[in-house]
Amino acid sequence: MNFLTLLPLAVVMIAGTQLVAAVFFASSDRPRPASLGYLAGAAIVVGGGTTLAWLAARLFKINFGDGGRGAIERGIDWLVLVLLAVLAVVVFRRRRSGPPGWMGRLQHAGPAYALKVGLLLFLAMPADDLTMVTVGASAARHDLPWWHLLPFVLLTLALLALPLLALLLLGHRAAGVLPRIRDWANSHSWLVSEAVIAFFVVITIFDLVR
């Protein structure tokens, strides 16, 4: 496994409510500062969450891996499989949840409020928590250095920034594009997430049977 294998899970991080919130911020009264505040909050949580998971798994291997490294790695693989199974169920159950009612307030958000939303939204979503633990634990299990987490974090932020990029590139024409991004995130993103999870399950099973 290398950092490229982890990248598809960035789709799971932003699918659904997270991307819908990014659309609302890009359509708000102050789209640029609000979107940047939201991205900053997401960066803090995603970067911190994956780092903590990586550190925990790495310390576990260091403290308990002497004389039984293969067993420890298999244990981490089984943990990742359980996390992926739970993540698949969470994504499936939320497939028709739609955006929560409070998102209407994001239209008038400033950067400070958007920062708080980015922090809380990524902390409070079980799917994001499970994905961050999966990414961090998988990277540590395969002895990937910490910086290999950065492409995953950066891709997550790049996907979240798509509505803002659409606004910057298309100007007033973005008014027609942003609703389509929002509708896609509401209707189809869960299918992409499930496909990514299945892909990662196959990789983890391959590690177990080697």
Q: What is the mean pLDDT of the chain?
A: 84
Cβ proximity of 19 and 185 under 8 Å: yes
Task: Give the residue, 46 or 78, on which the prediction is more confident.
Answer: 46
- In one-letter notation, the amino acid at residue 70 is G
What's the pTM? 0.84
What would the pLDDT profile of 121-151 be if each residue is shown by its tens digit? 899 888 899 999 999 999 998 889 999 999 9
What would the pLDDT profile of 160-184 be if each residue is shown by its tens digit? 998 888 888 877 776 677 777 777 7
Q: Provide the domain count of the chain.
A: 1
Domain that holds residue 73: 3-209
Give the whole-number percent of the chain exceeding pLDDT 90.
33
